[in-house]
Structure 1
């Protein structure tokens, strides 16, 4: 009786790496600090007993949204504003770049992070990538002369497909697509039309893969939101209802879906929606630790959450994960590295405990 367990991805960066980035060190000077951060992160994840590990997104030194286009010559820094909403004072804010001219091309593919992590890992590796719908927000509303939106979207989907194929070819156990813009779509367009367009765009990319490939592709949406340039009024500042996102999430044809549960006010509502909307071929990884809460869960608490999830989803398509990444932005300080690893250890041990309890009851 197997219950797989995987992290969402990001782990707080070592303070010395954050300080070096803030100091403006160039890539050559950062390289040894970055390699050491990846080595230490992979080693610490393996020490938790995690059967699948990752680099903790140590190499995404801007943010998890725009790493593929960091440094692009045809991009300006004044796109969508992304509030971190992760530190106690919510002071750190980041922006998406704005495309200024065609063609759209990635400057970095995520398989480079995978290759760097493989030098240190002894266990299967997972790689997170950003969704094409998130990067579609780079295209300005008033268009780009000589580069129509239709051509941009064609280029975008091709680049996203290329990135996933490169990660799979490099031996990724799983490629996780971060559908971070789901809350934004619901906030900007309560009718659901924008969200539906994002779902369609992601499916345009996924339909280029075989069923066997899609089984190695997952999808995650964080309960955290983002905000457009110029801000939004106070009435909109609150988070959208995460559970309302889930039906659309399961329409995206990924083989695995990672959903938040531990930090949700009504976990059983989340599970009911997952039960009713998940496709038969989709494995549902439910969040059993809450990265927004510094308190470390016990293994028993994790196990109890999984046992509840099993009542709704069964064992055959159930997995465990964290509600979200622990540090999607490189300078995130909401919790320490030690706390992140302690929560991951609790998830791993709690998943083993839940499996044991279910086996005894079978």
Structure 2
């Protein structure tokens, strides 16, 4: 059947949707008009992915405010002054701060999956935010009458429901976005924060059986927003051995933008669980140059010198526009890179006799 290939998630929004988001924020259009623009963008995204020949589709996160904050859409009990994520180019993103409990998701990801299903019969993948990222909503000085343990218990239950809802809705795969994993080593080089994140995520993953975990994966990258990253300078050799302790069946690993991919592949080959499938990034969303299918093929063939081909998959390094207002990469470039990934993966499969 060849080497499987999957998108990571987000795709730049079309101009009509960006305009609708601006008009909605300014009060010029109603919720229904924004929803119509979002649904049209989802339909266009899926149609274009089908035309490219993608075996597994995504909705491009056209209806998410961001890959990280969709669960808190519409929630009360939030203040704007939460954790700040700094990027290498100087810009920042800031999470809200939880001010009251109990914590509940305002939106679950199966909502997006079910909406996308109206537009295709092909396999659909759904990205969800890892609970470790949402744990950053809880303030360091605590919340009166809502201790951190109660918050974590609520978070674990909600994260399980988020994943399970997607599996029950027929998702081909569910991907936990864990970009904070690499960032945690920048914030805490001792690795203590990373260990806490892995332990928290495993408390959720352990609630699923082996067959379910075979459809659950974890994505790691150094962040990718407005053509910048937050943790590319963190050594993968410090992250990956701990990352592979996560009880998931698939790992989606940014690799195309790494300065020394061969070294990273050695680390993966040494530490990856033998039963896991490793999806390697073969296109770099931040680089405006579109990879050729031959470049993608050669990246896969290099990976096959480190890992057996039957364990390999390919993906994009990261999402192309994880925040709705990120216009640093054009929609056309994103689809061109995806096309190169699909064609290049097929060329590699042919070269390997798969």
TM-score (norm 1): 0.92
Q: CA deviation at 1:308?
A: 0.6
Find the aligned partners of 1:216 and 1:163 in 2 and give their Cα distance.
Answer: 14
Aligned match of 1:231: none
Question: Could you list the runs of 5+ residues in structure 2 that have no partner in the other structure?
Answer: none
Aligned match of 1:55: 59
Matched length: 346
Query: Would the alpha carbon gap of residues 287 and 337 (structure 1) be closer, same or farther in structure 2, given more than 3 Å must change?
Result: same
Contact 1:184 1:225 in 2 (8 A): no
Per-residue CA shift, 1:148-167, capped at 9, x if unaligned?
Answer: 11111010000000011100
Secondary structure in structure 1 of the residue aligned to 2:163: helix
Query: Would the alpha carbon gap of residues 341 and 189 (structure 1) be closer, same or farther in structure 2, given more than 3 Å must change?
Result: same
Contact 2:82 2:97 in 1 (8 A): yes
Q: CA deviation at 1:264?
A: 0.4
Q: CA deviation at 1:251?
A: 1.0
Residue 29 of structure 1 is aligned with which of 22, 33, 52? Answer: 33
Find the aligned partners of 1:83 and 1:30 in 2 and give their Cα distance.
Answer: 30
Aligned match of 1:41: 45
Question: Could you list the runs of 5+ residues in structure 1 that have no partner in the other structure?
Answer: 227-235
Query: Would the alpha carbon gap of residues 138 and 174 (structure 1) be closer, same or farther in structure 2, given more than 3 Å must change?
Result: same
Aligned match of 2:73: 70
Aligned match of 2:14: 14
Find the aligned partners of 1:5 and 1:128 in 2 and give their Cα distance.
Answer: 15
TM-score (norm 2): 0.94
Q: Which moved more, 1:195-204 or 1:76-85?
A: 76-85
Aligned match of 1:139: 138
Aligned match of 1:150: 149
Secondary structure in structure 1 of the residue aligned to 2:310: coil
Secondary structure in structure 2 of the residue aligned to 1:101: coil
Q: Which moved more, 1:241-250 or 1:304-313?
A: 241-250
Q: CA deviation at 1:184?
A: 2.6
Find the aligned partners of 1:178 and 1:101 in 2 and give their Cα distance.
Answer: 25
Contact 1:65 1:134 in 2 (8 A): yes
Find the aligned partners of 2:337 and 2:192 in 1 and give their Cα distance.
Answer: 37
Find the aligned partners of 1:42 and 1:122 in 2 and give their Cα distance.
Answer: 10
Aligned match of 2:294: 300
Find the aligned partners of 1:26 and 1:330 in 2 and give their Cα distance.
Answer: 18
Contact 1:174 1:217 in 2 (8 A): yes
Per-residue CA shift, 1:262-306, capped at 9, x if unaligned?
Answer: 110000111011101110111000011111101111111101000
Per-residue CA shift, 1:188-208, capped at 9, x if unaligned?
Answer: 111000100000000000000
Matched, 1:264 2:258: yes
Per-residue CA shift, 1:224-253, capped at 9, x if unaligned?
Answer: 289xxxxxxxxx987423443211211111
